[in-house]
Amino acid sequence: MSLRLYDTAARQLRDFTPLVPGKVGIYICGLTTQSQPHIGHVRFAVAFDVLRRWLEGRHGYDVSLVRNVTDIDDKILAKSADAGEEWFALSYRNEVATAAALASLGVLPPTYEPRATGHITEMVELMETLVEKGHAYAATDGSGDVYFDVKSFPEYGSLTHQKIEDMEAAQDADPRGKRDPRDFALWKGRKESEPATASWPTPFGVGRPGWHLECSAMARKYLGDAFDIHGGGVDLRFPHHENEQAQSHAAGLGFANFWLHNAWVTLGGEKMSKSLGNSLVVSEVTKVARPLALRYYLTAAHYRSTIDFYEGSLREAEATVERIEGFLTRALRSLPDGTSITPDLGAVPEAYAAAMDDDLNVSGALAVVHDTVRAGNTALDDGDEEAVAAAFASVVVMTDLLGVNPLDPQWGTDTTSGSGDAQGALDALVQVQLEARAAARAARDFATADAIRDQLGLAGIVIEDTASGANWSLARRDNEETGSI
């Protein structure tokens, strides 16, 4: 089965074939660095990280992924003014926080991460092309504004399947010099209230770029005139992505071959946003929930499905992760020393691959993961080492392709048998206690056996008795005690 992806522009599933054989170019709209990211902000990065891992890991494509940083815009200027802070200082501080949040969730670094302010030259060149072609104009009021003329381009509205006459006025700039209220800003002339450092000279006047112009220019610089996939949150479809496509096509660029959009994370049915006051900042959430559990939570639903966050969401994700982790840990202890934990692409079950090739059906793929975990636990209980090894290899590679492999050093764990690290030392000490407990039970000295179990429990070690012997795991923190949800 070939990979099929849902193209928002076509409103249907399409077979994915890259424009250049063996290579894939992806552009995703990164965050505006006005504040620290909450879990709703970062869902897009996790969703497209899964896509990238699948394209690279399963299909063997050489992927160039560009994720921009919008480090200048109206909100950044407003928030920095309110805080009495330089706009670039506020922007950079939040850029660092965003990078840390994404890294904590196992999101692979982008191939390129351009800042808008570093690509003014490319933006001005694109703007000049649009003016020359008659699709843009400079305001005649001396403001320095430059607008895209939506009526000059019949294709405008094709991405979101809207008619111009049904659209509301563009809200991205002062309408003072517009020919039509729906025209959107390519360039915004500097206002007296704005710092001089937030403006650049152009043939049309001093000012700063509009949001839409930024992404078109940066995508072109790093991926060329045409590239494979443009992605982002569903809320960006209009006006941002519509405007990107219009200005790029009007300039004669092929731009994106596929448009992919991920759905929101909601809280009580409402989009999670700062304005609603219901945000959950990633850096705070990961103080009381494992980053691996948060990553799993954001990964588990289909990328086009809305995730509604509720009390207990992360506890459920943690319990699920623990089941996977418990099997892998048990299996690794039962297998020969030196067993590789490196993902083996040959161990990907066909049912898993079929689900992922069907528009990244992660929920279907995870069903295969959990079936394999159950089969692996049964094999452990039966002492079927060959079946255990096969299940272990499959679970490792399947979870790795989703970025939720509990054995990945990303999550601060190393359960390699005999490695000599803290995990290996702890395992050796616990095994001594388990052997003593087993001997006590064999001698029907149940008081001693119970005492050993209780002592391990006080130390945070959970014991599970199975047909093949006792297994142990570390108890997890109860998020309710920390006030987390």
Instruction: Concatenate the DSSP letters of all residues of 87-153 into one string.
Output: HHHHHHHHHHHHHHHHHHTTPPPPSB--BGGG-HHHHHHHHHHHHHTTSEEE-TTSS--EEE-GGG-
Determine how many CB atoms are found less than 10 A away from the CB of residue 168: 8
Decide: residue 321, CB within 10 A, 0-12 exposed, 13-18 middle, 19+ buried.
buried
Rounded to a whole number of angstroms, the distance between the first and last alpha carbons of the chain is: 40
C-alpha span between 59 and 5 (Å, rounded)? 14
Task: Pick the range with the lowest mean pLDDT from 196-205, 372-381, 392-401, 468-477.
Answer: 468-477
Residue 275 confidence (pLDDT): 61
| Residue 346 predicted with pLDDT over 50 | yes
- pLDDT tier, 270 (very low <50, low <70, confident <90, very high otherwise): confident
pLDDT of residue 356: 98
Angle at 53 between CA 286 and CA 301, to 5 degrees: 55
2 forms beta bridges with none
Whole-number Å distance between alpha carbons of 24 and 113? 16
The secondary structure of the chain in percent helix, strand, coil, rounded to multiples of 5, reads 50, 15, 35
Q: Are 351 and 368 in contact (CB under 8 A)?
A: yes
Q: Binning pLDDT at 50, 70 and 90, where does residue 11 land?
A: very high
Average pLDDT value for the chain: 91
Cα 160 to Cα 171: distance, rounded to the nearest angstrom: 18
CB 247 within 8 A of CB 126: yes
Q: What is the rounded distance in angstroms from the CA atom of residue 109 to the CA atom of residue 327?
A: 29
pLDDT at 360 over 90: yes
How many other C-beta atoms lie within 10 A of the C-beta of residue 311? 8
pLDDT in tens, 91-127: 999 999 999 999 999 999 999 999 999 999 999 999 9
Looking at residues 374-388, what average pLDDT do you find? 96
**To 5 degrees, how large is the angle CA 384–CA 388–CA 391?**
140
Among 51-65, 173-187, 261-275, which is the least confidently predicted range? 261-275
pLDDT score of 415 more than 60: no
Q: In this structure, are residues 182 and 150 in contact, taking their beta carbons and an 8 Å threshold?
A: yes
Average pLDDT of 373-396?
96
